[in-house]
Amino acid sequence: MEYDGRHLQKGDPLPPFSGKPRLFSMRFCPYAERCVLMLNAKKVEYDLVFIDLSNKPEWIFTFNPKGSVPILEYEEGKAIFESSIITSYIDETYPYPALQAVGSLKRAQDKVVVELLSTAQAAYYIAAFNAQAIKPETVLSYHRSLEILQKDIAGRGTTYLAGDKPGYIDYIVWPFLERYIALHLVGRHEFAITEDKYDILIKYMHAMKKDPAIQSYSLEPENHAKYIESRVKGKPDYSIDSTNSFDRKNNKIIKPKKVDSYQESIEMHTKKPSM
């Protein structure tokens, strides 16, 4: 039976391997999104299979003993996992376009960006899914981390972190930025990314939203907000808004919103709330 794009659960059979590399994901997983963006940027043909992480099929553990996604099945029955491992593998296996920075210092500097952003990432998970644990330090460390990112973007003096086109570092950073601008929709206003403070970061996000790989998979803040709320209630809702329906065959969103409306969406979600 052909895979229909559902989030597969315990008891569901493993769909047959088609011969193409296969990525196991969950539609709202930011780590899996990094892999998807790179595969799409390189126009790799691959299959995408979604996993219900609240009720995992038994066979997922044969690919990754930890049971987490993303997992890349590169040959039938043979897999690697962890987004940092998968994304470097993708970049080295499918060389065009090369996405990682050239030169050991530049690559090291990109890793520093990722490392510093891990603070904002940790704060995001608390803000989104464990709000009662939010402390003043959580908010402070989140903003400190984003201010450093903004400074880095300004310091590089290029449209994207990687230069005049998005590269590895941009696709690593993006999935979380996409989620941060949803936090105000679930009432975490202290985590909002507003234009008065983050003009450079917002300009960067506008540029990122024009990239075809981002447009192929990126979701609107409203979708993230709906997922966050459902997961907090204990029943994750993996469905996405129909304007963004996903073409399972080509791993593309079939009716992408026009660039203009993507831009409007960032504008709408980064406005400083009026007092």
Ligand X SMILES: N[C@@H](CCC(=O)N[C@@H](CS)C(=O)NCC(=O)O)C(=O)O
Instruction: Tell me which residues are annotated as active site.
Output: 29
Assess 175 for contact with ligand X (CB under 6 A). no
Q: By CB under 6 A, what part of segment 75-114 binds ligand X?
A: 82-84
- Told to check if 60 binds ligand X by CB under 6 A, we report no
Residue 234 φ/ψ region, left for φ over 0, alpha for ψ in the -120 to 50 degree band, beta for the rest: left
117 near ligand X, judged by CB under 6 A:
no
Stretch in the footprint of ligand X (CB under 6 A) among 63-71, 100-108, 111-119, 249-257: 63-71
**AA letter at 274:** S
- What is the C-alpha separation between 169 and 10, in angstroms, rounded? 35
Does 215 interact with ligand X (rule: CB under 6 A)? no
Question: How many residues lie near ligand X (CB under 6 A)?
Answer: 11
Whichever of 83 and 223 has its CB closer to ligand X, that residue is 83
Looking only at the bridges linking them, the beta strands covering 22-25 and 47-51 are parallel
Residue 191 in contact with ligand X, rule: CB under 6 A: no
State yes or no: residue 52 binds ligand X (CB under 6 A): no
In the bound state with ligand X, the residue whose beta carbon lies nearer, of 21 and 70, is 70
- What count of other Cβ atoms lies within 10 Å of the Cβ of residue 7? 21
Verify binding: residue 24, ligand X, rule CB under 6 A: no
Among 3, 39, 49, 70, binds ligand X (CB under 6 A): 70
Find out whether 205 and 269 touch, Cβ atoms under 8 Å: no
Using CB under 6 A as the binding rule, whether residue 177 contacts ligand X is answered as no
Pick from 29, 153, 173, 177 the residue near ligand X by CB under 6 A: 29
Q: Least Å distance between CB 246 and ligand X?
A: 17
Q: Which of 8, 14, 23, 26 binds ligand X (CB under 6 A)?
A: 26
Rounded to the nearest whole angstrom, what is the least distance from the CB of residue 229 to ligand X in the complex? 17
- Region binding ligand X by CB under 6 A among candidate stretches 26-34, 138-146, 161-169, 237-245: 26-34
The residue type of 228 is I
Of 61-69, 176-184, 214-222, 262-270, which part binds ligand X (CB under 6 A)?
A: 61-69
Q: Which is nearer to ligand X, 29 or 161 (CB)?
A: 29
Rounded to a whole number of angstroms, the minimum distance from the CB of residue 82 to ligand X is 5
Q: Which of 14, 23, 36, 53 binds ligand X (CB under 6 A)?
A: 53
Site for ligand X, rule CB under 6 A: 26, 29, 31, 53, 67-70, 82-84
